[in-house]
C-alpha cells in the first residue's frame, strides 16, 4: 500500500489495475492518460462512477481523496461528491468549481463532520491561503469505513446546459498536520479566522483602535457631505411631492417616483 501520495491505479487494494469508470447521462469524449474529458448532459444528476477493478480500496492509511478537475467553461459548476463503502455507508458533500479554473477536489474521509463541531461547513484552508490549489468539499454528511471503499461518484448538479470537465486521475494521501488541527483554535481574540493572513486582518488591539478611529472619521465626512433626509430616508431639498402620511408612488413627467409620507423622493433597493 502507498504510504504517501499514490494513484488509485497502483493501490494494493486495486490490484494495480485502473479503476472501472461508468457514466450516467455523461459521455467520455477523450482520454489523456488517466485524465478523462467528460461531457455531462443537462439531465437529472449526470455522473461519473469510479469503482475498484477488484475487491475494495483500502484508504485507512491515507483517507484523504483528491480529484483533479478542470472547468474550461465560462460559468461556475457545482459538483456533488459521494463515497460509498462495502457496508452501504456513504459520505457526501459539494463544491463549486469556478469558470476557467483548475483545482483538486479534496475530502478527508475521517475528518470530524462540520455539524458535529457546530458548523455548516468545515474551515477553508484554501481561503486562508494554506491550500491554494485545492477545492475543499464542504457541507459533508455521513460516514464510511475507509478500509472498504467500493465507489466514488461525481455528479453535476443544477445544470441547464451540457458541462465539459476534465476529471482525474484520482489519488489519495494522508491528511496533513494542518488538516488534523483545522478545528483547533479556529477563531482568535478578535473573532477572526486564525490561520492565514490578509491585508485587513487585525493583529493587535492598538491596530483595532486605530482602524476604529479612521472609520469614525470617514463616517463623519460622509455624513457631512451627504444630502439632507427626512426621518423616512427621503431626499429633502429636491423634487417635492404632496405629503399624505403614507409611502406611495407618483408619476411625474413620465417617470415614476417613490415618495415618503413627508412627500420626499427616496430610493429602495431590495430583493423581490
Assess whether 244 and 162 both reside in one domain.
Answer: no
Assess whether 135 and 242 both reside in one domain.
Answer: no
- The DSSP bridge partners found for residue 80 are 94, 155
Domain of 250, in residue numbers: 227-272
Rounded CA separation 14/53 (Å):
6
Query: For the chain, what is the domain count?
Result: 2
Assess whether 17 and 86 both reside in one domain.
Answer: yes
Task: From 180, 215, 247, give the residue that closes a domain.
Answer: 180
DSSP 241-252: ----SS-EEEEE
Q: Over the chain, what is the mean pLDDT? A: 86
| CATH number, domain containing residue 71 | 2.60.120.430
Rg of the chain over all Cα atoms, to the nearest angstrom: 27
Residue with cell 409611502: 247
Residue 73 is assigned to a structural domain of this protein: yes
Assess whether 45 and 171 both reside in one domain.
Answer: yes
Assess whether 11 and 88 both reside in one domain.
Answer: yes
Assess whether 128 and 245 both reside in one domain.
Answer: no
Residue 204 is assigned to a structural domain of this protein: no
Task: From 165, 180, 195, give the residue that closes a domain.
Answer: 180
Q: Is the dihedral of CA 204, 177, 133, 96 positive or negative?
A: negative
- The top-scoring range by mean pLDDT among 15-19, 109-113, 133-137, 204-208 is 204-208
- The DSSP bridge partners found for residue 68 are 104
163 within 8 A of 80, measured Cβ to Cβ: no
Say if residue 169 is preceded by a cis peptide, omega within 30 of 0: yes
Work out the angle at residue 155's Cα, subtended by the Cα atoms of residues 149 and 161, and round it to the nearest 5 degrees: 165
* pLDDT over threshold 60, residue 46: yes
Assess whether 238 and 157 both reside in one domain.
Answer: no
pLDDT of residue 130: 66
- The DSSP bridge partners found for residue 256 are 251
Q: What's the rounded mean pLDDT across residues 237-256?
A: 91
pLDDT of residue 159: 78
pLDDT of residue 48: 95
Assess whether 41 and 135 both reside in one domain.
Answer: yes
Map residue 14 onto helix, strand or coil: coil
The three cell numbers of residue 250 are 407618483
Assess whether 126 and 235 both reside in one domain.
Answer: no
Q: Which of 25, 34, 4, 10 is nearest to 167 (CA)?
A: 34
Residue 220 is assigned to a structural domain of this protein: no
Residue 1 is assigned to a structural domain of this protein: no
Assess whether 50 and 162 both reside in one domain.
Answer: yes
Assess whether 150 and 239 both reside in one domain.
Answer: no
pLDDT of residue 257: 93
Determine if the pTM surpasses 0.75: no
pLDDT of residue 248: 95
Q: Is the dihedral of CA 18, 20, 23, 29 positive or negative?
A: positive
Amino acid at each position: 500500500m502507498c504510504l504517501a501520495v499514490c494513484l488509485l491505479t497502483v493501490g494494493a487494494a486495486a490490484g494495480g489495475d485502473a479503476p472501472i469508470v461508468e457514466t450516467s447521462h455523461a459521455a467520455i469524449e477523450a482520454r489523456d492518460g488517466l485524465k478523462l474529458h467528460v461531457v455531462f448532459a443537462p439531465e437529472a444528476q449526470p455522473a461519473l462512477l469510479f469503482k475498484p477493478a477488484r475487491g475494495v480500496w483500502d484508504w485507512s492509511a491515507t483517507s484523504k481523496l483528491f480529484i483533479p478537475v478542470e472547468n474550461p467553461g465560462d460559468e461556475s459548476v457545482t459538483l456533488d461528491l459521494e463515497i460509498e463503502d462495502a457496508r452501504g455507508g456513504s459520505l457526501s458533500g459539494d463544491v463549486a468549481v469556478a469558470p476557467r479554473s483548475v483545482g483538486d477536489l479534496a475530502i478527508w474521509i475521517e475528518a470530524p463532520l462540520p455539524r458535529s463541531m457546530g458548523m455548516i461547513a468545515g474551515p477553508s484552508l484554501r481561503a486562508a491561503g494554506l491550500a491554494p490549489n485545492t477545492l475543499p468539499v464542504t457541507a459533508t454528511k455521513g460516514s464510511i469505513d475507509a478500509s472498504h471503499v467500493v465507489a466514488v461518484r461525481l455528479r453535476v448538479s443544477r445544470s441547464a446546459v451540457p458541462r465539459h470537465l476534465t476529471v482525474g486521475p484520482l489519488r489519495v494521501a494522508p491528511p496533513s498536520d494542518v488538516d488534523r488541527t483545522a478545528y483547533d483554535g479556529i477563531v482568535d481574540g478578535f473573532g477572526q479566522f486564525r490561520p492565514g493572513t490578509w491585508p485587513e486582518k487585525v493583529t493587535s488591539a492598538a491596530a483595532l483602535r486605530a482602524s476604529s478611529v479612521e472609520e469614525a472619521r470617514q463616517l463623519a465626512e460622509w455624513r457631512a457631505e451627504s444630502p439632507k433626509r427626512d426621518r423616512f430616508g427621503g431626499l429633502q431639498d429636491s423634487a417635492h411631492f404632496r405629503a399624505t402620511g403614507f409611502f406611495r408612488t407618483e408619476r411625474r413627467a413620465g417617470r415614476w417616483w417613490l415618495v415618503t409620507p413627508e412627500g420626499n423622493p427616496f430610493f429602495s433597493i431590495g430583493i423581490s
